[in-house]
Structure 1
């Protein structure tokens, strides 16, 4: 999370979802699994969001077929532009005139000796419109993100 906050210069909203993952899973593998498990209904909601927000000059998603998902800097995967990649963390996000967001896919050991994947969302409002926009979509964000992270893994915890 620290890298996401640092890249935005602060934050106005942070949330994280953690899920147990198989030992030896890297952050790029965790990110790939989460993104590859995105259900069609989420893509449809993002399509609706894009139709509403594109006229205002806001970034839109780039749909990527599962076989074409490559976790590498500069790739746009859905609404996330991949910025940095390491074995421990994949950091992505976008900056618009209303807000900036970062999505961190990190892996870390658990106190019991296992491994967990942690998806963290960090939001920084650039103006009141960003605050209003995120408050409007936050219920969907809170519905979607835990389901995405759990895709193919055990139950998430918030």
Structure 2
């Protein structure tokens, strides 16, 4: 049985699609996800990254993110076979902690509160695997780091990459 730490934003919850959805709703402009590949997170939108970063402070942003395809089924299978912890930075943005908890309760009701870790820095995380989309979380990790593909990290080659939950399942189940 392996201990697996799984990030939420960009791994379970589709943050990029949420930026696109909220931007379209507010500015009437539909941004193609493909145009965001290789750009820093929150960049690539016509009004600039300050507008997109502003969404992170708005009520509902974290609560209404779309679920990433196949994540529920694969995480449930991992949870049944391994020791799984959801590890998410939830201290920087005022609404993120309660909204992330509500989101998890709705979409991943099988994950008990004992297996949810909200933190500021993930440098304290000890596990066999960490699935995350950010270099800053994977670099200090002592176990096997798995980079979950997101538009902002497509050019990073320092970590073993997983492009989908189907790939995660093939690797860890």
TM bucket normalised to smaller: 0.3 to 0.5
TM-score by length of 2: 0.33
Q: Which structure's relative contact order is higher, taking Cα pairs within 8 Å and 6+ residues apart? A: 1
Higher strand share: 1
